[in-house]
Each structure stands twice: as structure tokens, then as C-alpha cells.
Amino acid sequence: MDQYVKISFNNLQPGQKEILIAQLDTMGFDGFEERENDLDAFIPEENYDDERLSELTRENKLDFTKNIIKQENWNQLWESNFHPVIVDDFVAVRADFHEPITTVRYEIVITPKMSFGTGHHATTNMMMRQMKDIDFNNKKVFDFGTGTGILAILAVKMGATSVTAIDNDEWSINNAKENFQKNNSGDIDLRLSDRPLMNQTFDIIVANITKNIILDNFSFLSGQLNKNGILLLSGLLEDDEQDILEESKKYSLTQSARLKEGNWLCMRFLR
């Protein structure tokens, strides 16, 4: 992975960023930097499709600028924009170049490479806030779309006895492996895969991805959830809620909690 393409959008309308991120995610963009009305989106150069992006921007009447970022400049850029994330007195996420944070119950140290899930985005932040209210002690956990591995690491720190984490991106797998080692979470079963069929069952399943991937794999996720198990979903927009609720009814799952931040949703279901 030698270079990244950086696409920049400016002067976006309220609510437009969230929808745009969801659309770009389906095109292979795997990193986003948000500012008040601006958005930078990043994608490996080999995955970039100029025609698809042009079609998307024409439909939404958007202008953009394009830049190429060389591999040697990537980590420097990412680190310069990476700040610690603190969720109440529950958990802090920092890089190893930050000072330790001692005012929280759990501290997670990650290498801020190009993988989804540093805690900065609303979807990851809400997942951690939901996890705060869940008992992970002695539980079997499955993290579908692990990204940096942050949720799997938190599950281990909260007492899970078994954690399986998968992702379909080799870059994310390598980053997650490094982060597991940094946090003494090396026993996590980490796999490169795009299918959540694990041939085992879990007490808690977390999936911070997108609506379409969740819907495509709902039957597998539900089928691997133990009785009284918890399914925690994020990466969802407010407009996705009804589709997720309709799908959950097919598998006798009951929504037990819901968080909303901006146009993003995090939904918790019980079996």
C-alpha cells in the first residue's frame, strides 16, 4: 500500500457529512477527518475509482479537491491530527506518544494508523458508551469489523474470557494485531475474513460497520448470538433505523437501548 488518495470537501450543509461518509465508505474509503463544515476522506490509491466518485459528487452537486499522500507521510499526518479520546471516567484512548491518562477505569493505547475506529468518530464513541453499561465479565465476544481493534481490546479489559475479531482489510488486521500487543490483549482470536460465520456462539456481538453490511449479515450475527445475548450495532445513520428494526423482528431480537449523536445511531438488541 504505497500511497493514499485524499479527497477534500468544503462548505458542506448540516447533516450532509454523515450521509457522505456512509456513501464513501461503500466505495472503499476507510479514513475520515471531520471539521465543522469540511471533510477529508482517504482511500488506498489502488482502490480509488474516479468515475464512481465523480458520479456521486454530480448527484449531490459537490465539488472536491484531490491529493496524493505518499506512504512515508501518512503516519505523520495521522498522528498530527490524533488527540486522546476520553469517555467520562470510563475509558480513554490515546497513542503511545501521549502522556498516560490516569483518571479513567480503562486506558487503551493504539497506533493511529489508517484503520477505522480510534474513538474520535461518533460511531465508535457511542459503542464505547454503550459498552460501559454491559457486563462483559466471563463473556464470549465477537467483534465484526474490528478496524483498529479498539472494541475488542476494551472487551478484554472489561473481563471477557474469549474475544474473536475479524476484518476484511489486511491493513486493519496488521494494525489490530499491533494494538492487541500494546494492550496485552494478545489472546484475541484475530482473523482476516469478510464473513462473520464463526461456527460458534457468543454472549455479546459488536459490529461498527455500515447498514448494508449489517443487513447482509444479520442472519449470521443473530444465529451466533446466545440466549439472552446482546447485539450492539453502530455505523448507522438515523435514516437506517427502520430498516434495522424491521430486520431485527425476523430474528426475535428486541431493541433495549439507543444512542444518537448528530445523524449517527448506535442500537443495542437483546435475544
| Residue at 110 is within a domain | no
| Residue at 59 is within a domain | yes
| Residue at 87 is within a domain | no
Please, is 51 exposed, middle or buried when counting C-beta atoms within 10 Å of its C-beta (0-12, 13-18, 19+)?
exposed
| Residue at 95 is within a domain | no
| Residue at 19 is within a domain | yes
Which cell goes with 130?
A: 454503550
Domain shared by 20 and 146, yes or no: no
Q: How does pLDDT run along the chain (271 residues), one tens digit per residue?
A: 568 888 999 988 877 887 888 888 888 887 777 777 888 888 888 889 999 999 988 888 899 999 887 765 666 666 666 788 899 999 999 988 889 999 999 999 987 665 555 656 788 899 999 999 999 999 999 999 998 899 999 999 999 999 999 998 887 898 899 999 999 997 999 999 988 888 899 999 999 988 889 999 999 999 999 999 999 999 898 889 999 999 999 999 999 999 998 888 999 999 9
Domain shared by 123 and 201, yes or no: yes
Cα 142 to chain centroid, rounded: 14
**Helix or strand holding residue 155 (H, E):** helix 150-157
> For position 18, what pLDDT does the model report?
79
> For position 75, what pLDDT does the model report?
62
Domain boundary among 33, 57, 79: 79
Total tally of structural domains belonging to the chain:
2
**Helix or strand holding residue 181 (H, E):** helix 170-182
Domain shared by 221 and 142, yes or no: yes
Domain shared by 48 and 147, yes or no: no
Q: How far apart are the first and last CA of the chain?
A: 41
> For position 61, what pLDDT does the model report?
87
User: Which residues are paired to 68 by β-bridges?
Assistant: 5
> For position 27, what pLDDT does the model report?
85
Q: What is the DSSP letter of 238?
A: G
> For position 186, what pLDDT does the model report?
77
| Residue at 91 is within a domain | no
Full residue range of the structural domain in which residue 13 is found: 3-79
On whether the CB atoms of residues 270 and 205 are closer than 8 A, the answer is no
Which cell goes with 29?
A: 474509503
